[in-house]
Amino acid sequence: MLFVLVSCGSDSQGPGIPNVPVSEQINVNSQLYPRLRQDGGYAYLENGYKGIIVVRQNANLYLAFERACPYDPTADLPCGRVEVDQSNLFINDKCCGSQFNFQGGVMTGPAVYGLRQYRTALSGSLLSIFN
């Protein structure tokens, strides 16, 4: 009997976004990140391809996303980079108009892929972000 294992891989989070190594640690209680002290708060970091958005879901759960928009990730800045909308209700790319929720999912296109998510691990007040 012959078994073959096939893996198709997943491009469900932004094909075309270059893979760059990410390994960063921040103190979520630092004065540098005052918005991370409340649920729904966020912070921008410089790592990643076009930066990282860290979003606090609750005191024990932080999510981190690549700021490159999956619709056109290689567009020249400021296009192709997402940011939290002034309403603080969603994340968007002002150039293409794509909107994403705070879990990285697409709300409106033209993007069809969600934001690339990085792994996070919280130990006390230290948040590790990595891929």
Segment 39-53, tens digit of pLDDT: 999 999 999 999 999
Q: Is the separation of the CB atoms in 65 and 117 below 8 Å?
A: yes
Distance (Å, rounded) from C-alpha 35 to C-alpha 110? 29
- Dihedral over alpha carbons 23, 99, 101, 27 (to 10 degrees): 30
Q: In the CATH scheme, what is the code of domain 23-130? A: 2.102.10.10
Residue-wise pLDDT tens digits, 72-103:
898 888 889 999 999 989 999 999 999 999 99
pTM of the model: 0.86
Report phi then psi at 57, rounded to 5.
Answer: -80, -45
